[in-house]
Amino acid sequence: MSDIPLAEEQLLRSRQLVSPGVWAGFLATLRRDTIIAFRHRGEMMNPLVFFLMVITMVPLGISPERIILATLAPGMIWVVALLATLLSLDSLFRSDFEDGTLEQLLMSPQPLYFQVLAKVAVHWLVTGLPLTLMAPLLGVMLSLPAAGFVPLCYTLLLGTASLSLIGAIGAALTVALRKGGLLLSLVIMPLYVPVLIFGASAVNNGIEGFPIGGQLAVLGAFLAMAIVLAPMAAAGALRIGING
Amino acid sequence: MAWQWFHRLGSPRWFYEKTGPWMPWLAVLSAVLLISGAVWGLAFAPADMKQGNSYRIIYIHVPAAFLALAGYYIMAISGAIGLIWKMKLADMVMKSAAPIGAVLTFVALVTGAIWGKPTWGTWWVWDARITSMLILFFLYLGVIALQEAYQHQDTANKASAILALVGTVNIPIIYKSVDWWYTLHQPATIKFTSESTIHPSMLYPLLTMVIGFYCFYALVLLLRTRSEVLEREKKTRWVQDLARQG
Protein backbone atom coordinates (compact mmCIF):
# COMPACT_ATOMS: atom_id res chain seq x y z
CA MET A 1 0.00 0.00 0.00
CA SER A 2 2.72 2.42 0.97
CA ASP A 3 4.33 2.52 -2.48
CA ILE A 4 1.13 3.94 -4.02
CA PRO A 5 0.77 7.63 -3.17
CA LEU A 6 -2.44 8.44 -1.32
CA ALA A 7 -3.88 10.71 -4.01
CA GLU A 8 -3.30 8.09 -6.66
CA GLU A 9 -4.99 5.43 -4.55
CA GLN A 10 -8.01 7.66 -4.07
CA LEU A 11 -8.14 8.20 -7.81
CA LEU A 12 -8.04 4.45 -8.43
CA ARG A 13 -10.77 3.91 -5.86
CA SER A 14 -12.95 6.57 -7.38
CA ARG A 15 -12.65 4.85 -10.76
CA GLN A 16 -13.49 1.59 -9.02
CA LEU A 17 -10.28 0.01 -10.23
CA VAL A 18 -9.65 -0.94 -6.62
CA SER A 19 -13.03 -1.97 -5.28
CA PRO A 20 -13.50 -3.35 -1.78
CA GLY A 21 -13.24 -7.13 -1.58
CA VAL A 22 -16.13 -9.57 -1.35
CA TRP A 23 -15.64 -10.07 2.37
CA ALA A 24 -15.68 -6.31 3.00
CA GLY A 25 -18.88 -5.99 0.99
CA PHE A 26 -20.46 -8.86 2.90
CA LEU A 27 -19.53 -7.31 6.25
CA ALA A 28 -20.76 -3.88 5.20
CA THR A 29 -24.22 -5.20 4.32
CA LEU A 30 -24.27 -7.34 7.46
CA ARG A 31 -23.47 -4.29 9.57
CA ARG A 32 -25.92 -2.01 7.79
CA ASP A 33 -28.83 -4.46 8.03
CA THR A 34 -28.12 -5.21 11.67
CA ILE A 35 -28.19 -1.52 12.50
CA ILE A 36 -31.44 -1.04 10.60
CA ALA A 37 -32.98 -4.05 12.33
CA PHE A 38 -32.02 -2.76 15.78
CA ARG A 39 -33.46 0.66 15.00
CA HIS A 40 -36.83 -0.98 14.39
CA ARG A 41 -37.04 -2.91 17.64
CA GLY A 42 -40.82 -3.10 17.49
CA GLU A 43 -40.73 -4.88 14.17
CA MET A 44 -38.14 -7.25 15.54
CA MET A 45 -40.47 -8.25 18.35
CA ASN A 46 -43.45 -9.00 16.11
CA PRO A 47 -42.56 -12.58 15.09
CA LEU A 48 -41.81 -13.41 18.72
CA VAL A 49 -45.14 -12.02 19.92
CA PHE A 50 -46.87 -13.94 17.14
CA PHE A 51 -45.06 -17.11 18.25
CA LEU A 52 -46.23 -16.59 21.84
CA MET A 53 -49.82 -15.74 20.89
CA VAL A 54 -50.37 -18.72 18.58
CA ILE A 55 -48.92 -21.08 21.18
CA THR A 56 -51.37 -19.59 23.70
CA MET A 57 -54.23 -20.43 21.33
CA VAL A 58 -53.33 -24.15 21.34
CA PRO A 59 -54.50 -25.03 24.88
CA LEU A 60 -57.49 -22.73 24.44
CA GLY A 61 -58.51 -24.43 21.22
CA ILE A 62 -57.65 -28.05 21.99
CA SER A 63 -57.29 -28.88 25.65
CA PRO A 64 -55.31 -27.76 28.69
CA GLU A 65 -54.63 -31.44 29.59
CA ARG A 66 -50.92 -31.89 30.21
CA ILE A 67 -50.75 -35.25 28.42
CA ILE A 68 -52.43 -33.99 25.27
CA LEU A 69 -50.29 -30.83 25.22
CA ALA A 70 -47.12 -32.83 25.72
CA THR A 71 -47.81 -34.96 22.64
CA LEU A 72 -48.66 -31.88 20.59
CA ALA A 73 -45.81 -29.68 21.83
CA PRO A 74 -42.88 -30.64 19.53
CA GLY A 75 -44.87 -30.41 16.31
CA MET A 76 -46.84 -27.36 17.41
CA ILE A 77 -43.75 -25.37 18.38
CA TRP A 78 -42.10 -26.30 15.10
CA VAL A 79 -45.12 -25.37 12.97
CA VAL A 80 -45.57 -22.03 14.70
CA ALA A 81 -41.84 -21.22 14.44
CA LEU A 82 -42.15 -21.95 10.73
CA LEU A 83 -45.15 -19.63 10.39
CA ALA A 84 -43.45 -16.86 12.37
CA THR A 85 -40.43 -17.08 10.04
CA LEU A 86 -42.71 -16.97 7.00
CA LEU A 87 -44.54 -13.88 8.23
CA SER A 88 -41.33 -12.00 8.89
CA LEU A 89 -39.86 -12.89 5.48
CA ASP A 90 -42.00 -10.50 3.48
CA SER A 91 -40.01 -7.54 4.81
CA LEU A 92 -36.64 -9.11 3.96
CA PHE A 93 -36.15 -7.18 0.71
CA ARG A 94 -39.28 -5.01 0.78
CA SER A 95 -37.96 -1.73 2.22
CA ASP A 96 -34.72 -1.98 0.23
CA PHE A 97 -36.80 -2.48 -2.90
CA GLU A 98 -39.00 0.49 -2.15
CA ASP A 99 -36.21 2.99 -1.45
CA GLY A 100 -33.99 1.84 -4.29
CA THR A 101 -31.21 0.29 -2.21
CA LEU A 102 -31.74 -3.01 -3.95
CA GLU A 103 -31.04 -1.45 -7.34
CA GLN A 104 -27.80 -0.02 -5.97
CA LEU A 105 -26.83 -3.47 -4.73
CA LEU A 106 -27.57 -4.95 -8.13
CA MET A 107 -25.43 -2.33 -9.86
CA SER A 108 -22.54 -2.57 -7.42
CA PRO A 109 -19.53 -4.66 -8.46
CA GLN A 110 -20.15 -6.90 -5.45
CA PRO A 111 -21.49 -10.39 -6.20
CA LEU A 112 -25.20 -10.40 -5.36
CA TYR A 113 -24.85 -13.87 -3.83
CA PHE A 114 -22.91 -12.58 -0.82
CA GLN A 115 -25.15 -9.56 -0.43
CA VAL A 116 -28.20 -11.81 -0.25
CA LEU A 117 -26.37 -14.14 2.12
CA ALA A 118 -25.59 -11.18 4.42
CA LYS A 119 -29.22 -10.07 4.39
CA VAL A 120 -30.44 -13.57 5.18
CA ALA A 121 -27.86 -13.89 7.96
CA VAL A 122 -29.23 -10.73 9.59
CA HIS A 123 -32.79 -11.99 9.13
CA TRP A 124 -31.85 -15.19 10.94
CA LEU A 125 -30.09 -13.25 13.71
CA VAL A 126 -33.19 -11.15 14.40
CA THR A 127 -35.88 -13.85 13.94
CA GLY A 128 -34.54 -17.42 13.87
CA LEU A 129 -32.16 -17.03 16.79
CA PRO A 130 -34.65 -15.26 19.12
CA LEU A 131 -37.31 -17.84 18.19
CA THR A 132 -34.87 -20.58 19.17
CA LEU A 133 -34.07 -18.87 22.44
CA MET A 134 -37.75 -18.39 23.21
CA ALA A 135 -38.77 -21.96 22.33
CA PRO A 136 -37.89 -23.50 25.75
CA LEU A 137 -40.26 -21.04 27.45
CA LEU A 138 -43.07 -22.11 25.14
CA GLY A 139 -42.04 -25.71 25.74
CA VAL A 140 -42.71 -25.15 29.44
CA MET A 141 -46.10 -23.62 28.63
CA LEU A 142 -47.04 -26.66 26.51
CA SER A 143 -45.55 -29.03 29.14
CA LEU A 144 -42.96 -30.45 26.77
CA PRO A 145 -41.24 -33.45 28.45
CA ALA A 146 -37.85 -32.59 29.93
CA ALA A 147 -35.91 -34.71 27.44
CA GLY A 148 -37.29 -32.64 24.56
CA PHE A 149 -35.79 -29.26 25.42
CA VAL A 150 -32.23 -29.80 24.21
CA PRO A 151 -33.30 -31.41 20.89
CA LEU A 152 -35.83 -28.62 20.38
CA CYS A 153 -33.15 -25.93 20.69
CA TYR A 154 -30.64 -27.77 18.50
CA THR A 155 -33.13 -28.49 15.72
CA LEU A 156 -34.57 -24.98 15.76
CA LEU A 157 -31.07 -23.50 15.69
CA LEU A 158 -30.19 -25.47 12.54
CA GLY A 159 -33.67 -25.50 11.04
CA THR A 160 -34.59 -21.81 11.28
CA ALA A 161 -31.41 -20.95 9.36
CA SER A 162 -32.59 -23.21 6.52
CA LEU A 163 -36.05 -21.67 6.77
CA SER A 164 -34.62 -18.15 6.38
CA LEU A 165 -32.48 -19.20 3.41
CA ILE A 166 -35.25 -21.04 1.55
CA GLY A 167 -37.71 -18.30 2.38
CA ALA A 168 -35.37 -15.70 0.87
CA ILE A 169 -36.10 -17.24 -2.55
CA GLY A 170 -39.81 -16.61 -2.04
CA ALA A 171 -39.21 -13.12 -0.69
CA ALA A 172 -37.10 -12.31 -3.76
CA LEU A 173 -39.70 -13.76 -6.14
CA THR A 174 -42.52 -11.69 -4.66
CA VAL A 175 -40.66 -8.47 -3.82
CA ALA A 176 -41.84 -6.67 -6.95
CA LEU A 177 -45.49 -7.51 -6.23
CA ARG A 178 -47.53 -5.08 -4.23
CA LYS A 179 -49.30 -7.78 -2.23
CA GLY A 180 -46.69 -10.45 -2.04
CA GLY A 181 -47.15 -11.55 1.56
CA LEU A 182 -49.73 -14.32 1.20
CA LEU A 183 -48.31 -15.46 -2.11
CA LEU A 184 -44.89 -15.79 -0.48
CA SER A 185 -46.35 -18.23 2.06
CA LEU A 186 -48.14 -20.25 -0.63
CA VAL A 187 -45.02 -20.54 -2.71
CA ILE A 188 -42.59 -21.38 0.06
CA MET A 189 -44.55 -23.58 2.45
CA PRO A 190 -44.29 -26.80 0.40
CA LEU A 191 -40.52 -26.33 0.33
CA TYR A 192 -40.45 -26.25 4.14
CA VAL A 193 -41.84 -29.78 4.46
CA PRO A 194 -38.50 -31.65 4.78
CA VAL A 195 -37.16 -29.25 7.44
CA LEU A 196 -40.37 -29.58 9.46
CA ILE A 197 -40.36 -33.39 9.23
CA PHE A 198 -36.79 -33.77 10.42
CA GLY A 199 -37.00 -31.01 13.02
CA ALA A 200 -40.16 -32.24 14.72
CA SER A 201 -39.20 -35.91 14.51
CA ALA A 202 -35.85 -35.21 16.17
CA VAL A 203 -37.65 -33.67 19.14
CA ASN A 204 -40.04 -36.64 19.32
CA ASN A 205 -37.10 -39.04 19.16
CA GLY A 206 -35.36 -37.13 21.93
CA ILE A 207 -38.44 -37.40 24.14
CA GLU A 208 -38.66 -41.13 23.54
CA GLY A 209 -34.99 -41.52 24.42
CA PHE A 210 -33.63 -42.32 20.97
CA PRO A 211 -30.48 -40.70 19.55
CA ILE A 212 -31.11 -37.59 17.44
CA GLY A 213 -27.72 -37.41 15.70
CA GLY A 214 -29.15 -38.62 12.41
CA GLN A 215 -31.83 -35.95 12.18
CA LEU A 216 -29.38 -33.24 13.22
CA ALA A 217 -26.99 -34.41 10.51
CA VAL A 218 -29.77 -34.26 7.91
CA LEU A 219 -30.81 -30.79 9.09
CA GLY A 220 -27.17 -29.75 8.84
CA ALA A 221 -27.02 -31.14 5.31
CA PHE A 222 -30.16 -29.16 4.38
CA LEU A 223 -28.52 -26.05 5.80
CA ALA A 224 -25.30 -26.63 3.87
CA MET A 225 -27.22 -27.13 0.65
CA ALA A 226 -29.43 -24.11 1.32
CA ILE A 227 -26.38 -21.89 1.95
CA VAL A 228 -24.93 -22.92 -1.40
CA LEU A 229 -28.06 -22.84 -3.57
CA ALA A 230 -30.69 -20.59 -1.99
CA PRO A 231 -28.86 -17.22 -2.22
CA MET A 232 -28.11 -18.03 -5.85
CA ALA A 233 -31.79 -18.60 -6.66
CA ALA A 234 -32.78 -15.55 -4.61
CA ALA A 235 -30.21 -13.38 -6.42
CA GLY A 236 -31.57 -14.56 -9.78
CA ALA A 237 -35.12 -13.84 -8.64
CA LEU A 238 -34.15 -10.33 -7.46
CA ARG A 239 -32.62 -9.56 -10.85
CA ILE A 240 -35.82 -10.67 -12.55
CA GLY A 241 -38.04 -8.75 -10.14
CA ILE A 242 -36.16 -5.51 -10.67
CA ASN A 243 -35.21 -5.68 -14.33
CA GLY A 244 -38.54 -7.15 -15.40
CA MET B 1 -27.24 -28.93 -39.06
CA ALA B 2 -28.37 -31.27 -36.34
CA TRP B 3 -29.39 -28.37 -34.14
CA GLN B 4 -31.46 -26.54 -36.72
CA TRP B 5 -34.74 -27.85 -35.35
CA PHE B 6 -33.81 -26.50 -31.93
CA HIS B 7 -33.20 -23.00 -33.25
CA ARG B 8 -36.35 -23.16 -35.32
CA LEU B 9 -38.29 -23.81 -32.12
CA GLY B 10 -37.43 -20.24 -31.20
CA SER B 11 -40.03 -19.15 -33.72
CA PRO B 12 -43.57 -19.54 -32.39
CA ARG B 13 -44.88 -19.27 -35.94
CA TRP B 14 -42.79 -22.23 -37.15
CA PHE B 15 -44.04 -24.22 -34.17
CA TYR B 16 -47.65 -23.29 -34.83
CA GLU B 17 -47.51 -24.23 -38.47
CA LYS B 18 -45.55 -27.41 -37.87
CA THR B 19 -47.76 -28.80 -35.11
CA GLY B 20 -51.04 -27.99 -36.89
CA PRO B 21 -51.14 -31.21 -38.98
CA TRP B 22 -50.18 -33.33 -35.94
CA MET B 23 -53.26 -32.42 -33.98
CA PRO B 24 -55.90 -34.64 -35.66
CA TRP B 25 -53.52 -37.64 -35.59
CA LEU B 26 -52.71 -37.11 -31.95
CA ALA B 27 -56.40 -36.68 -31.12
CA VAL B 28 -57.36 -39.92 -32.92
CA LEU B 29 -54.45 -41.83 -31.39
CA SER B 30 -55.22 -40.76 -27.84
CA ALA B 31 -58.96 -41.39 -28.30
CA VAL B 32 -58.31 -44.91 -29.63
CA LEU B 33 -55.84 -45.73 -26.86
CA LEU B 34 -57.95 -44.28 -24.06
CA ILE B 35 -61.22 -45.87 -25.21
CA SER B 36 -59.72 -49.29 -25.92
CA GLY B 37 -57.68 -49.21 -22.71
CA ALA B 38 -60.72 -48.19 -20.67
CA VAL B 39 -63.02 -50.81 -22.19
CA TRP B 40 -60.32 -53.47 -21.87
CA GLY B 41 -59.55 -52.55 -18.31
CA LEU B 42 -63.10 -51.96 -17.07
CA ALA B 43 -64.93 -54.75 -18.90
CA PHE B 44 -62.50 -57.51 -19.86
CA ALA B 45 -59.66 -57.54 -17.36
CA PRO B 46 -60.28 -60.05 -14.54
CA ALA B 47 -61.49 -58.82 -11.16
CA ASP B 48 -58.93 -58.64 -8.40
CA MET B 49 -58.95 -61.55 -5.95
CA LYS B 50 -59.03 -59.36 -2.82
CA GLN B 51 -60.40 -56.02 -4.01
CA GLY B 52 -62.99 -57.25 -6.49
CA ASN B 53 -63.98 -54.68 -9.06
CA SER B 54 -62.97 -51.64 -7.05
CA TYR B 55 -59.36 -51.99 -8.14
CA ARG B 56 -60.35 -50.97 -11.69
CA ILE B 57 -59.91 -47.30 -10.82
CA ILE B 58 -56.20 -48.09 -11.15
CA TYR B 59 -56.66 -47.55 -14.91
CA ILE B 60 -57.18 -43.85 -14.28
CA HIS B 61 -55.34 -43.39 -11.01
CA VAL B 62 -51.93 -44.72 -12.02
CA PRO B 63 -51.61 -42.98 -15.43
CA ALA B 64 -52.73 -39.68 -13.88
CA ALA B 65 -50.18 -40.03 -11.08
CA PHE B 66 -47.41 -40.87 -13.59
CA LEU B 67 -48.14 -37.80 -15.65
CA ALA B 68 -48.56 -35.54 -12.65
CA LEU B 69 -44.91 -36.11 -11.79
CA ALA B 70 -43.63 -36.21 -15.38
CA GLY B 71 -45.58 -33.01 -16.05
CA TYR B 72 -43.68 -31.18 -13.31
CA TYR B 73 -40.38 -32.08 -14.93
CA ILE B 74 -41.67 -31.07 -18.37
CA MET B 75 -42.70 -27.73 -16.86
CA ALA B 76 -39.40 -27.21 -15.03
CA ILE B 77 -37.22 -28.22 -17.98
CA SER B 78 -39.05 -25.90 -20.37
CA GLY B 79 -38.77 -23.18 -17.72
CA ALA B 80 -35.01 -23.76 -17.60
CA ILE B 81 -34.77 -23.65 -21.40
CA GLY B 82 -36.69 -20.37 -21.33
CA LEU B 83 -34.34 -18.91 -18.71
CA ILE B 84 -31.12 -20.07 -20.38
CA TRP B 85 -31.80 -19.63 -24.09
CA LYS B 86 -34.51 -16.95 -23.70
CA MET B 87 -36.75 -19.00 -25.94
CA LYS B 88 -40.27 -17.58 -26.05
CA LEU B 89 -41.80 -20.90 -26.96
CA ALA B 90 -40.34 -22.64 -23.89
CA ASP B 91 -41.98 -20.02 -21.66
CA MET B 92 -45.30 -20.69 -23.33
CA VAL B 93 -44.93 -24.46 -22.86
CA MET B 94 -44.11 -23.90 -19.19
CA LYS B 95 -47.14 -21.70 -18.67
CA SER B 96 -49.39 -24.22 -20.43
CA ALA B 97 -47.98 -27.22 -18.56
CA ALA B 98 -48.67 -25.90 -15.05
CA PRO B 99 -52.51 -26.11 -14.98
CA ILE B 100 -52.54 -29.48 -16.80
CA GLY B 101 -50.14 -30.91 -14.23
CA ALA B 102 -52.17 -29.49 -11.36
CA VAL B 103 -55.38 -31.02 -12.74
CA LEU B 104 -53.72 -34.42 -13.22
CA THR B 105 -52.35 -34.32 -9.66
CA PHE B 106 -55.83 -33.48 -8.45
CA VAL B 107 -57.31 -36.36 -10.49
CA ALA B 108 -54.74 -38.73 -8.98
CA LEU B 109 -55.63 -37.52 -5.46
CA VAL B 110 -59.39 -37.77 -6.00
CA THR B 111 -59.27 -41.21 -7.64
CA GLY B 112 -56.98 -42.30 -4.82
CA ALA B 113 -59.53 -41.13 -2.27
CA ILE B 114 -62.38 -42.90 -4.12
CA TRP B 115 -60.27 -46.04 -4.28
CA GLY B 116 -59.37 -45.72 -0.63
CA LYS B 117 -62.98 -45.75 0.60
CA PRO B 118 -63.82 -49.37 -0.35
CA THR B 119 -60.31 -50.79 0.20
CA TRP B 120 -59.15 -49.03 3.35
CA GLY B 121 -62.54 -47.88 4.63
CA THR B 122 -61.58 -44.22 4.67
CA TRP B 123 -61.32 -41.39 2.15
CA TRP B 124 -58.06 -40.00 3.35
CA VAL B 125 -54.98 -41.57 4.90
CA TRP B 126 -51.71 -39.82 5.68
CA ASP B 127 -49.78 -42.28 3.60
CA ALA B 128 -46.35 -41.32 2.24
CA ARG B 129 -47.34 -41.42 -1.40
CA ILE B 130 -50.61 -39.57 -0.89
CA THR B 131 -48.86 -36.88 1.16
CA SER B 132 -46.13 -36.44 -1.46
CA MET B 133 -48.79 -36.08 -4.15
CA LEU B 134 -50.56 -33.46 -2.07
CA ILE B 135 -47.33 -31.49 -1.70
CA LEU B 136 -46.70 -31.82 -5.43
CA PHE B 137 -50.17 -30.33 -5.92
CA PHE B 138 -49.18 -27.40 -3.66
CA LEU B 139 -46.01 -26.88 -5.68
CA TYR B 140 -48.08 -26.68 -8.88
CA LEU B 141 -50.47 -24.22 -7.22
CA GLY B 142 -47.52 -22.05 -6.17
CA VAL B 143 -46.22 -21.89 -9.74
CA ILE B 144 -49.69 -21.04 -11.09
CA ALA B 145 -50.27 -18.39 -8.40
CA LEU B 146 -46.92 -16.75 -9.10
CA GLN B 147 -47.59 -16.84 -12.83
CA GLU B 148 -50.95 -15.11 -12.28
CA ALA B 149 -49.62 -12.49 -9.86
CA TYR B 150 -47.32 -10.66 -12.25
CA GLN B 151 -48.79 -8.16 -14.67
CA HIS B 152 -45.87 -8.37 -17.03
CA GLN B 153 -45.83 -11.65 -18.93
CA ASP B 154 -42.06 -11.89 -19.31
CA THR B 155 -41.40 -11.34 -15.59
CA ALA B 156 -44.11 -13.85 -14.72
CA ASN B 157 -42.45 -16.48 -16.89
CA LYS B 158 -38.99 -15.96 -15.48
CA ALA B 159 -40.18 -15.87 -11.87
CA SER B 160 -42.25 -19.03 -12.17
CA ALA B 161 -39.41 -20.75 -14.04
CA ILE B 162 -37.11 -20.07 -11.07
CA LEU B 163 -39.75 -21.39 -8.69
CA ALA B 164 -40.26 -24.50 -10.82
CA LEU B 165 -36.50 -25.14 -10.80
CA VAL B 166 -36.26 -24.68 -7.03
CA GLY B 167 -39.14 -27.15 -6.76
CA THR B 168 -37.26 -29.62 -8.97
CA VAL B 169 -34.31 -29.60 -6.60
CA ASN B 170 -36.73 -30.12 -3.72
CA ILE B 171 -38.99 -32.84 -5.12
CA PRO B 172 -36.58 -35.75 -4.46
CA ILE B 173 -35.84 -34.35 -0.99
CA ILE B 174 -39.55 -33.97 -0.20
CA TYR B 175 -40.29 -37.49 -1.47
CA LYS B 176 -37.49 -39.00 0.58
CA SER B 177 -38.37 -37.12 3.76
CA VAL B 178 -42.08 -37.92 3.49
CA ASP B 179 -41.14 -41.58 2.97
CA TRP B 180 -38.98 -41.40 6.04
CA TRP B 181 -41.68 -39.63 8.03
CA TYR B 182 -44.17 -42.30 7.03
CA THR B 183 -41.94 -45.13 8.27
CA LEU B 184 -41.96 -43.41 11.66
CA HIS B 185 -45.73 -43.05 11.77
CA GLN B 186 -46.62 -46.30 10.03
CA PRO B 187 -50.27 -47.10 10.73
CA ALA B 188 -50.66 -50.83 11.32
CA THR B 189 -53.97 -51.37 9.57
CA ILE B 190 -53.11 -50.36 6.04
CA LYS B 191 -51.04 -52.25 3.53
CA PHE B 192 -50.51 -51.45 -0.10
CA THR B 193 -50.88 -54.32 -2.53
CA SER B 194 -47.50 -54.34 -4.17
CA GLU B 195 -47.66 -53.35 -7.79
CA SER B 196 -44.90 -55.48 -9.23
CA THR B 197 -47.04 -58.59 -8.77
CA ILE B 198 -49.76 -57.38 -11.10
CA HIS B 199 -50.96 -60.06 -13.52
CA PRO B 200 -50.31 -59.47 -17.25
CA SER B 201 -54.04 -59.55 -17.99
CA MET B 202 -54.36 -56.46 -15.79
CA LEU B 203 -51.03 -54.97 -16.78
CA TYR B 204 -51.59 -54.66 -20.55
CA PRO B 205 -54.73 -52.52 -20.34
CA LEU B 206 -52.90 -50.41 -17.75
CA LEU B 207 -49.98 -49.87 -20.12
CA THR B 208 -52.43 -48.96 -22.89
CA MET B 209 -53.99 -46.39 -20.59
CA VAL B 210 -50.58 -44.99 -19.61
CA ILE B 211 -49.58 -44.52 -23.25
CA GLY B 212 -53.03 -43.10 -23.98
CA PHE B 213 -52.63 -40.60 -21.14
CA TYR B 214 -49.22 -39.56 -22.48
CA CYS B 215 -50.73 -38.94 -25.93
CA PHE B 216 -53.62 -37.06 -24.38
CA TYR B 217 -51.21 -34.99 -22.31
CA ALA B 218 -49.21 -34.13 -25.43
CA LEU B 219 -52.43 -33.20 -27.21
CA VAL B 220 -53.65 -30.89 -24.44
CA LEU B 221 -50.21 -29.35 -23.97
CA LEU B 222 -49.95 -28.62 -27.70
CA LEU B 223 -53.49 -27.21 -27.78
CA ARG B 224 -52.82 -24.89 -24.87
CA THR B 225 -49.42 -23.85 -26.20
CA ARG B 226 -50.89 -23.16 -29.65
CA SER B 227 -53.58 -20.92 -28.22
CA GLU B 228 -50.93 -19.22 -26.07
CA VAL B 229 -48.89 -18.61 -29.25
CA LEU B 230 -51.90 -16.99 -30.95
CA GLU B 231 -52.68 -14.92 -27.86
CA ARG B 232 -49.18 -13.53 -27.55
CA GLU B 233 -48.53 -13.06 -31.25
CA LYS B 234 -51.92 -11.54 -31.98
CA LYS B 235 -50.37 -8.29 -33.17
CA THR B 236 -48.19 -9.97 -35.80
CA ARG B 237 -49.06 -10.21 -39.48
CA TRP B 238 -49.27 -13.98 -39.70
CA VAL B 239 -51.76 -14.35 -36.87
CA GLN B 240 -53.95 -11.63 -38.32
CA ASP B 241 -53.79 -13.29 -41.74
CA LEU B 242 -54.74 -16.56 -40.06
CA ALA B 243 -57.71 -14.92 -38.39
CA ARG B 244 -58.87 -13.42 -41.68
CA GLN B 245 -58.79 -16.80 -43.39
CA GLY B 246 -61.14 -18.01 -40.65
What is the ipTM for the molecules in this complex?
A: 0.83
Cα–Cα distance, A161 to A222 (Å, whole number) = 10
B142 → closest Cβ in A180, A186, A244: A186
Instruction: Tell me how far the alpha carbon of residue B96 is from its chain's centroid.
Output: 11
B162 → closest Cβ in A173, A198, A201: A173
Cα–Cα distance, B101 to B74 (Å, whole number) = 9
pLDDT above 70 (res A58):
yes
* A14 located within any domain: no
pLDDT for the residue B189: 44
* A131 located within any domain: yes
Which residues on A lie below 8 Å from B154 (Cβ)? 244
pLDDT averaged over every residue in chain B: 83
Which residues on B lie below 8 Å from A174 (Cβ)? 146, 149
Q: Other CB atoms closer than 10 Å to residue B212's CB: what's the count?
A: 22
Mean pLDDT value across residues A221-242: 92
State the nearest Cα–Cα gap between A198 and chain B, in angstroms: 8
Return the minimum-mean-pLDDT range out of A48-57, A118-127, A226-235, B7-16.
Answer: B7-16
* A143 located within any domain: yes
Instruction: Please indicate whether, in this complex, the C-beta atoms of B154 and A244 are within 8 angstroms of each other.
Output: yes
* A16 located within any domain: no
| B-chain residue closest to A244, CA distance | B155
Cα–Cα distance, B96 to B94 (Å, whole number) = 5
Cα–Cα distance, A146 to A142 (Å, whole number) = 11
Instruction: Please indicate whether, in this complex, the C-beta atoms of A244 and B155 are within 8 angstroms of each other.
Output: yes
Percent of chain A whose predicted confidence (pLDDT) is above 70:
92
pLDDT for the residue B190: 44
What's the Cα-to-Cα distance from B206 to each of A234, B66, B105, B181, B195, rounded to whole Å? 42, 12, 18, 30, 12
Cα–Cα distance, B153 to A200 (Å, whole number) = 40
| Annotated domain spans of chain B | 57-186+199-245
Q: Give chain A's radius of gyration (CA, Å).
A: 21
pLDDT for the residue A5: 65
Cα diameter, chain B: 65
Which residues on A lie below 8 Å from B180 (Cβ)? 197
Identity of the amino acid at B206: L
Q: What is the pLDDT of residues B198-227, one digit of tens each?
A: 677 778 888 888 899 999 999 999 999 988
What's the Cα-to-Cα distance from A79 to each of A51, A128, A159, rounded to whole Å? 10, 13, 12
Which residues on B lie below 8 Å from A71 (Cβ)? none
Which residues on B lie below 8 Å from A194 (Cβ)? 170, 173-174, 176-177
Domain count, chain A: 1
Domain that holds residue A37: 21-243
